[in-house]
Amino acid sequence: MTTARYLSPPAYAKLLGCNVSKVLAWIGDGQLEAIDVSTRPGIGRPRWRISSEAIERFERRRSSLTTNATQRTTPRRRRQRAVPQYV
């Protein structure tokens, strides 16, 4: 049995160097899987914890290697240079 390491949203935000609200938005959108460890889930303020496995899946999905961000589907258009019109 493996023991999963859990991070709070502020700890994960600090690790990524982003704002906590961004991590909470990912959780709210369902992009990042988290568990509510509050005493009364669904009532009041949630206390989210993110497992290391959920972090790995999230980062793998958002990786530039999986999205092919370096390859363009259509070629870039050349800029039209302004040609002065003399009438």
- Check residue 1 and give its pLDDT: 43
Mean pLDDT of 6-10: 96
Print the SS3 string covering 13-50. HHHHCCCHHHHHHHHHHCCCCCEECCCCCCCCCCCEEE
Is 36's pLDDT higher than 60?
yes
Burial zone of 13 (CB within 10 Å; 0-12 exposed, 13-18 middle, 19+ buried): middle
83: pLDDT strictly greater than 50:
yes
Arithmetic mean of pLDDT, 71-87: 74
